[in-house]
């Protein structure tokens, strides 16, 4: 497992272990308070092979092994939004640890949107599958570190950021400064809202560590990376750095999004992630089945 550790800067500053899922370019996080060893997992991936529709839990088990090896006490299983590019491991982790899981409260609106896309009325009940649905401005403790929830829509209508001491887990908003920002063209997404969310994150202190949701490298950088600071993003982000205005950003973002294909796991992922990572209920033969809508989405014209 490719991983990198970001050390605590002292009291009130969490230690962060980022680990990488290469097939989806996803950054996952184990974060803890060094004073108490209380820990949280954020955006952990459920391994999925779209060719065979088969599932494993290698990344989630690796995270649990790290928790045991380091003598940590897992307190929270957190996700920032219902991911379109990977299946979340939230339910699997909760089943094995008994630890509560959480996501943003607007997942309920996202569920209604996707029930229509899948033609599955009433299929999703996030309040039953997640123990906590966070509202904008909610807070909780991770050991002695307060964690604040920021609503950060744009990539989805209900994405949230977790600000824990001097570390913010900003999911699919920023990418690394040399890669720009995340797409805003999924159902419920909006480039203007994403710009506003980016600006809210840039209003955090300059030395705030920002931990992103994805990295795919660039032409000049092969090794994945996921940590930057507010100051670095404000100065150097290729889409928004240097004071790019809202209108210009929306034009750049929408032009780029029009060229992007859907993630190869998206239509599998949403019907699982809106159940906190649970597969659809097994049918009479004991197997779960995905429902995939045909011709609801079009590939971009090249």
Q: What is the pLDDT of residue 226?
A: 98
Calculate what percentage of the chain has a pLDDT beyond 70.
99
Q: Is the pTM of this model over 0.85?
A: yes
Q: What is the DSSP letter of 44?
A: P
One of 3.20.20.80, 3.30.70.20, 3.40.50.880, 3.60.15.10 is the CATH number of 3-262, namely 3.60.15.10
Helix-then-strand count for the chain, H and E:
8, 16
Q: Return d(Cα 186, Cα 184) in angstroms, integer.
A: 6
| Domain ranges within the chain, ordered by starting residue | 3-262
Q: If DSSP codes are grouped into helix, strand and coil, which group holds residue 93?
A: helix
Q: Return d(Cα 125, Cα 230) in angstroms, integer.
A: 36
Reported as a single tens digit per residue, the pLDDT across 109-165 is 999 999 999 999 999 999 999 999 999 999 999 999 999 999 999 999 999 999 999
Calculate what percentage of the chain has a pLDDT beyond 90.
95
Band (pLDDT 50/70/90 cuts) for residue 302 is: low
Q: Return d(Cα 234, Cα 177) in angstroms, integer.
A: 9
Reported as a single tens digit per residue, the pLDDT across 164-215 is 999 999 999 999 999 999 999 999 999 999 999 999 999 999 999 999 999 9
Q: What is the pLDDT of residue 107?
A: 98
Calculate the average pLDDT of the chain: 96
Buried b / exposed e across 20-58, counting CB within 10 Å, b at 16+?
bbeebbbbbbbbbbbeebbbbbbbbbbbbeeeeeebebe
Q: Return d(Cα 115, Cα 109) in angstroms, integer.
A: 10
Q: Return d(Cα 129, Cα 149) in angstroms, integer.
A: 20
């Amino acid at each position: 497992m490719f991983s990198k550790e970001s050390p605590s800067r002292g009291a009130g500053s969490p230690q962060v272990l980022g680990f990488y899922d290469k097939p989806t370019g996803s950054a996952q996080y184990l974060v803890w308070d060094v004073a108490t060893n209380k820990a949280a997992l954020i955006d952990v991936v459920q391994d999925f092979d779209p060719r065979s529709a088969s599932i494993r839990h290698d990344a989630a088990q690796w995270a649990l092994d790290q928790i045991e090896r380091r003598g940590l006490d897992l307190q929270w299983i957190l996700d920032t939004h219902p991911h379109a590019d990977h299946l979340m491991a939230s339910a699997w982790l909760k089943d094995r640890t008994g630890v509560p899981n959480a996501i943003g409260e607007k997942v309920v609106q996202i569920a209604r949107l996707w029930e229509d896309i899948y033609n599955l009325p009433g299929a999703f009940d996030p309040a039953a599958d997640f123990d906590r649905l966070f509202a904008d401005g909610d807070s909780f403790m991770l050991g002695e570190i307060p964690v604040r929830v920021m609503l950060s829509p744009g990539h989805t209508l209900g994405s949230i950021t977790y600000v824990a001491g001097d570390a913010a887990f900003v999911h699919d908003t920023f990418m690394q400064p040399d890669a720009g920002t995340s797409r805003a063209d999924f159902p419920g997404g909006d480039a203007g809202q994403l710009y506003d969310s980016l600006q809210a994150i840039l209003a955090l202190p300059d030395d705030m560590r920002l931990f992103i949701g994805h990295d795919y490298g660039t032409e000049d950088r092969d090794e994945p990376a996921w940590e930057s600071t507010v100051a670095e993003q404000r100065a150097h982000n290729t889409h928004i750095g240097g004071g790019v205005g809202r209108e210009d950003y929306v034009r750049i973002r929408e032009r780029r999004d029009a060229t992007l294909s859907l993630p190869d796991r998206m239509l599998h992922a949403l019907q699982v992630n809106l159940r906190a990572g649970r597969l659809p209920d097994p049918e009479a033969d004991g197997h779960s089945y995905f429902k995939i809508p045909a011709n609801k989405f079009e590939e971009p014209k090249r």
